[in-house]
Amino acid sequence: MGLSRRKFTCEFKLEAIERLESVAAVARALEVSPGLLQRWRQEFRESPGTADRVAQLECKIGQQTLEID
């Protein structure tokens, strides 16, 4: 049986980026690879507004899911 990929919320990614004192230390603390952390930081630098919008939409989807349930 293969391993499933983990999914991270935008809030988690933004918190990880903000905590970057040492990529290796933060990656260990959050149990993610340093390369993934670097990619998130690069994505945020290229389009910071997109990350905020995605976070808002994820929250809205979560609220709607709770309402439907």
Q: What pLDDT band is residue 1 in, cutting at 50, 70 and 90?
A: low
Tokens 């690069």 belong to 42
Domain boundaries defined on the chain: 10-68
**Token pair in block for residue 31:** 């149990």
Query: What are residue 7's phi and psi, to 5 degrees?
Result: -115, 135
The whole-number pLDDT of residue 51 equals 66
pLDDT digits (tens, 9 = 90+) for 12-57: 887 777 766 677 877 888 888 889 888 888 888 887 777 667 777 7
d(CA 37, CA 16): 7
Q: Which long-range contacts (CB under 8 A, 24 or more apart) does 26-33 make?
A: 32/8
Q: How far is CA 54 from the centre of its chain?
A: 10
Token pair listed for 44: 């945020």
